[in-house]
Each structure stands twice: as structure tokens, then as C-alpha cells.
Amino acid sequence: MKEWIIGVCPEIAEWQAEMIAEAAQNSVLAEREACAKVVEDYPHWIGLTAKAEISNAIRARGER
């Protein structure tokens, strides 16, 4: 992502691009975790196995 940021804003310093890329990645991870928590906290009628599979799939999205 850092390279993309530098390509879009060539006047930006490399350290700034790294900070922006890290902040964006942290935001993505936080949003992914929030989505997984919503699934885990969903009503009990969904089933524990389905909740675990869905929340694990959400968390694993960034590992592909």
C-alpha cells in the first residue's frame, strides 16, 4: 500500500506513506474485528458452530 500512496502523492515522504499505510491497515483490522464481534454477539439461535465459522472467516480475510 505504501507504494500506491507514493504513486498517488509523489511529493509525500516515505515515512509519511508508511504511517498512512499502517494507519489504514490498523483501521481495516479493527473494522474486521468489530464485524467478527457482531457475529459472536448475535442471538443464540444462530448456533455456536455457525458463529465461530463466520467470525473466524471474517478474521482470516486479511491472511489470503
User: What local confidence, expressed as pLDDT, does residue 64 receive?
Assistant: 61
Residue 37 DSSP SS3: helix
User: What local confidence, expressed as pLDDT, does residue 44 receive?
Assistant: 73
Domain that holds residue 48: 2-63
pLDDT along the chain (64 residues), means of 10: 92 95 94 90 78 89 74
User: What local confidence, expressed as pLDDT, does residue 6 receive?
Assistant: 93
Residue of 35, 37, 31, 3 lying closest to 17 (CA atoms):
3
User: What local confidence, expressed as pLDDT, does residue 40 receive?
Assistant: 85
Number of folded domains that form the chain: 1
